[in-house]
Amino acid sequence: MTYLKYCHLFYQPIPEGSFFSRLIHINQKSLDLIYSHPFNQELLAGTLPKAKFGHYLRDDFLYLRVFAKVLHTLAARTQIINPSLSLQLTQLAHEVVSSEHSMQLKYSAHFKDFHEHQMGTAITHYSDYLLTASTQAKIPEALCSILPCFWIYYQLGMLKSPKEIMTDHPYDDWIATYSSDEFVRITLELAATVNSLVNKSHQSKQLRLVSAFTKSVSYELDFFNEVYLPPVNPPSNASSSCQSPT
């Protein structure tokens, strides 16, 4: 038996060899890169530049709109075959929309020029992937594609307890959202649902499910890199016209 790293509230141990345990193990390196990413470490410490947080927040706001649509699509697809799962997905969609509006209100200063904002490349590709998965992938695969978003933010919320947050922390509301009892509950319930559904399937069918989870984790890492790292300047005309030596 093992307790997953960082999961301070995951009291129930996950059996070795379970599907969810394998997902975390296979992707642990990428997950650790996300948890230790300078964007997230500076955000948790309250030292992240406001411009970077604003860039992230605007991209994330547009992404969450797509994500809510993805959840509603999956809820509609499962309404007849699995009503309880459909209800769970609908509730998740409502939680995402609520979080989206809450962040816009709490950090309204970052949305003054929102009409001029264009989604970054990483989050655009991520959104397109999830939209495609929600309509074309089988339900277990689609669920594996949406799980990293919940799991990663749950983990980030757990990395700093409310007692550790200073009263003047600029991002305390963001941290509180993803460390809240409600967000923890819905995340662990989704993880348990995925684990239960997939454990019933043959291992030969689980490769695509692992791939879906891994791809979304990769997109999450790409997103943090894009909003934190400065854009690379395109080569000048002079340098681009140079020919390679023969």
**Is 168 part of a structural domain of the chain?**
yes
Q: Tell me the chain's radius of gyration from C-alpha atoms.
A: 19
Q: Using CA atoms, how far apart are residues 229 and 132, in angstroms rounded to an integer? A: 28
Identify which has the larger pLDDT, 144 or 3. Answer: 144
Q: What pLDDT, on the 0 to 100 scale, is given for residue 163?
A: 59
Percent of the chain clearing pLDDT 90 (strictly above): 59
Q: Does pLDDT of 126 surpass 90?
A: yes
Tally of domains in the chain: 1
Q: How many CB atoms lie within 10 A of CB 73?
A: 18
**Is 113 part of a structural domain of the chain?**
yes
**Where in the sequence is the domain holding 106, given as residue range(s)?**
19-227
Identify which has the larger pLDDT, 33 or 163. Answer: 33
Q: Does pLDDT of 8 surpass 50?
A: no
Q: Three-state DSSP class for 14?
A: strand
**Is 14 part of a structural domain of the chain?**
no
Q: Does pLDDT of 107 surpass 90?
A: no
**Is 6 part of a structural domain of the chain?**
no
**Is 176 part of a structural domain of the chain?**
yes
- 61 contacts: CB under 8 Å, gap ≥ 6: 100, 103, 104, 111, 114
Q: Does pLDDT of 185 surpass 70?
A: yes
Q: What pLDDT, on the 0 to 100 scale, is given for residue 199?
A: 81
Q: What pLDDT, on the 0 to 100 scale, is given for residue 142?
A: 97
Residue 214 belongs to domain with CATH number: 1.20.910.10
Q: What pLDDT, on the 0 to 100 scale, is given for residue 12?
A: 45
Residues 167-181, mean pLDDT to the nearest whole number? 87
**Is 5 part of a structural domain of the chain?**
no
Residue 235 exposed, middle or buried by CB count within 10 Å (0-12, 13-18, 19+):
exposed
Q: Would you say 160 and 174 are in contact if contact means Cβ atoms under 8 Å apart?
A: no
Q: Does pLDDT of 108 surpass 70?
A: yes
Q: Using CA atoms, how far apart are residues 178 and 76, in angstroms rounded to an integer? A: 26
Report pTM. 0.85
Least Cα distance to 141 among 93, 70, 88 occurs for 70
Token reading at 61: 């706001």
**Is 232 part of a structural domain of the chain?**
no
Least Cα distance to 160 among 56, 49, 35 occurs for 35
User: Which of 131-145, 149-163, 220-234 holds the top average pLDDT?
Assistant: 131-145
Residues 51-78, mean pLDDT to the nearest whole number? 94
**Is 88 part of a structural domain of the chain?**
yes
